[in-house]
Amino acid sequence: MSDKTTHFGYQQVDWEDKQRRVAGVFDSVASNYDIMNDAMSFGIHRLWKRFAVEQAGARPGQRILDLAGGTADLAARLSRLVGAEGEVIIGDINASMLGVGRERLLDKGITGNVRFVQANAETLPFPDGSFDCITIAFGLRNVTDKAKALESMYRVLKPGGRVLVLEFSKPVIPGLRQFYDFYSFSVLPVMGRLIAKDEKSYRYLAESIRMHPDQESLRVMMEQAGFEDCDYFNLSGGIVALHRGFRF
């Protein structure tokens, strides 16, 4: 046990215990992850991810790391853009999520330029300057040490490369926060119970969103990790934000 604590949703837990708890959440929801994403976002998550892929600027022959790649939504699109000469590595700490992603890509016939690696974002097992672009969609908030993960991403990014962080954020439209809070804590857990048979995990996911840094705070964290020209795009009124940073 460590003397250091961190948040797991609204709970304070031992620093070293958060990773195990998060793994338990995603082991539980992996098989229903896509269905729940469609249900709880009314399908809009597909538009958020499409926008992220557009901002990646992926070109034939590039090497891209998709962290927290889960069910391979981004990777499927990116693999087409980098082509046969390029490569997309899907990195995820959770083996259950990687398994779902592997099956999805096989179903789509995508195999040649995609590789799966079980990896912790805080200690990426790649040489310095390995990737032209790094994406992480709806995964950073579950990382125990976000600053360390951003520094690890910076290390493995090539000079001239970019990082994209797609994550739930803080609503910026007046009145939206109250509706969003009601939906997150009154509707979402019920959907989790009915669809995924797991109310507890989706209550944690709602809480983890509230504990994640807001738009400006995350931008500052990215700059502190070394990224330059950091900015962000608010999507759906700030419910989600896409942060972008570069290594020069």
pLDDT digits (tens, 9 = 90+) for 35-50: 878 888 999 999 999 9
Inter-residue contact 225 to 153 (CB < 8 Å)? yes
Q: Report the half-sphere exposure of 45 (CA within 13 A, side-chain side).
A: 19
pTM for this prediction: 0.92
Q: What pLDDT does 7 receive?
A: 83
What residues pair up with 240 in beta bridges, in sequence order?
Answer: 168, 235
- Compute the distance between CA of residue 199 and CA of residue 247 in angstroms, rounded to an integer: 40
Mean pLDDT of 213-238: 98
Give the β-pairing of 131-137 and 157-168. parallel
- Compute the distance between CA of residue 142 and CA of residue 131 in angstroms, rounded to an integer: 23
Q: What pLDDT does 150 receive?
A: 98
What residues pair up with 164 in beta bridges, in sequence order?
Answer: 135, 244
Cα 176 from chain centroid (whole Å): 23
Q: Which pair of structure tokens corresponds to residue 225?
A: 């990790």
Residue 2 reports pLDDT greater than 70: no
Provide the 10 A C-beta neighbour count for residue 241: 23
Inter-residue contact 201 to 28 (CB < 8 Å)? yes
- Compute the distance between CA of residue 245 and CA of residue 181 in angstroms, rounded to an integer: 29
pLDDT digits (tens, 9 = 90+) for 115-136: 999 999 999 999 999 999 999 9
- Compute the distance between CA of residue 71 and CA of residue 213 in angstroms, rounded to an integer: 24
pLDDT digits (tens, 9 = 90+) for 70-87: 789 999 999 999 999 999
pLDDT digits (tens, 9 = 90+) for 185-196: 999 999 999 888
To the nearest 10°, report the CA torsion of 171, 175, 178, 183: -70
CATH of domain 29-173+201-246: 3.40.50.150
